[in-house]
Structures are given as structure tokens and as C-alpha cells.
A and B are shown apart, each in its own frame.
Chain A
Amino acid sequence: MTVSAAPVVKVGDEAPDFELRALDGRQVRLSHYRGKKTVLFMWASW
């Protein structure tokens, strides 16, 4: 198990890109939204 300091994404940083699956099955990358203003909202049903 490797242990290292975790990143914290700050205002002014580039938002780290990621790819996750949408509920309709398609793959979505954050970078798809370049050129548009984006709201990244993290929530849970719990």
C-alpha cells in the first residue's frame, strides 16, 4: 500500500480530468466540457 500526500484541488488549478459512466451507459469525460462553463456537483443518495 503506497502512501503519499493527496492532492487538494484549489481555485486556480486545472480541474483534474476523469472519465466515468453515465446512467445511460455512455462514457463521459470532464474534458468534453472544455469551451463551456461547467458545474461539477458531487452528491450521493445517502
Chain B
Amino acid sequence: MDAQGPDKALPFLRRANCEFTTVVDEENLLGQLYGVKAIPNGYLIDEAGVVRYKKLSGFDIRRAETASIVESWARATAIDESLLETEAAPGAEHSEANAHFRAGLNLYRDGNVEEAVAQWRRGVDLEPDNYIIRKQIWAVQNPDRFYSGDVDFAWQKKQMAQGL
């Protein structure tokens, strides 16, 4: 999910040597459709297209918990009910924040980077925990912290500590 497009994802995928299909979501379609504000998220969907399990944030195959859920899901049909999470529906500010995200995206594509960032900033003001939007600002303003080798998560923690 990167407003700057598929080129940004490719180097990471080559390093990971992925076998599964990867699609690029430049416009945060899934953020809007599924109501998510951060990643990594995992949805397990059955043969009829019904969601049987979801985890928002922290869905990481390197974690034993995630790996065992995905494995048992692949092998059987039942998901342990105790693993299911409940959450409140996102409010109207989620739609409004995403409207600013889309406005910023159009400006960015027209080359108006400062105005794009201003729109994204308004989205983040509305939804401070929307890291999908917040990280677009960080990545555009600090490409060296994202796209020159490894992502600098220590730097991101400092940003968060300062509320930036």
C-alpha cells in the first residue's frame, strides 16, 4: 500500500523471494473498503468468500502465533473462536481522512508534493492512528529512511515519539 507505486515494492519482493501473488494498492482502496488504518493485516477467507478470521496489525508470519493460525487454517476448516477479535466500527472521520488521502494522491500525481502532504496531514489530524496515511508523508519527505536499503524503524519510532 504505497502511493508512490509498484516500483517501491519491487526491491523488497525480490529480496523476499515471494511465491504468492502481490498486487499494488496505490490508492489505499483496501484501507477504505476494509476500514483499516495500519498494516500488517491478515484476513483468512473461505471458499465461499466469507471472512473466517482477521487480525489487524501484528499479522506477521515470522511470529509463531500467526504461522500456526495460517497453517491450521490451510489444513482444517475450524478456527479457534478464542482467537477472534472484536472491534468498534470506524467512524465518519475514517471516510473523511481517506477523502483527504485521495485528494493528496491526486495532487501528488500532478507534481504538487507540498499540497499533497498538506492534504495527508489533514487526514492524519482527523485520524492520528491512521499509519497508512501518516507513512505516506514520512516516505515522501524522507525517502532515504524507506527506500535506500532497509526501512529505518528506529527513525519511525522517534517520529512517533515526537508526534510527527
Contact = CB atoms under 8 A, between A and B. Distances in A.
A46 B95 contact: no
Interface of B: prevailing SS: mixed
Contacts, number: 152
Given A40-B42, A44-B135, 5 more contacts: A8-B35, A14-B50, A28-B23, A42-B25, A42-B39
A18 B31 CA distance: 12
Interface of A: prevailing SS: loop
A9 B35 CA distance: 7
B53 A20 contact: no
23 contacts: A2-B99, A4-B95, A5-B95, A6-B95, A7-B34, A14-B49, A14-B51, A21-B6, A23-B22, A23-B23, A35-B47, A37-B44, A38-B45, A39-B42, A41-B42, A42-B1, A42-B30, A42-B36, A42-B42, A43-B39, A44-B40, A45-B2, A45-B9
Contact of A37 (B22, B25, B74, B98): B74
Contacts of B88: 8
Give the bracket for the number of chain A residues in contact with chain B.
Answer: 35 or more
A3 B95 contact: yes
Given A6-B32, A39-B42, A21 B49 contact: no
A18 B51 contact: no
Contacts of B151: 45-46
Nearest to B103: A1
A46 B89 contact: no
Interface in B88-115: 88-92, 94-96, 98-99
B67 to A, nearest CB: 12
Nearest to A32: B21
Contacts of B164: none
Contact of A41 (B10, B40, B91): B40
B43 A7 contact: no
A36 to B, nearest CB: 6
A4 B40 CA distance: 25
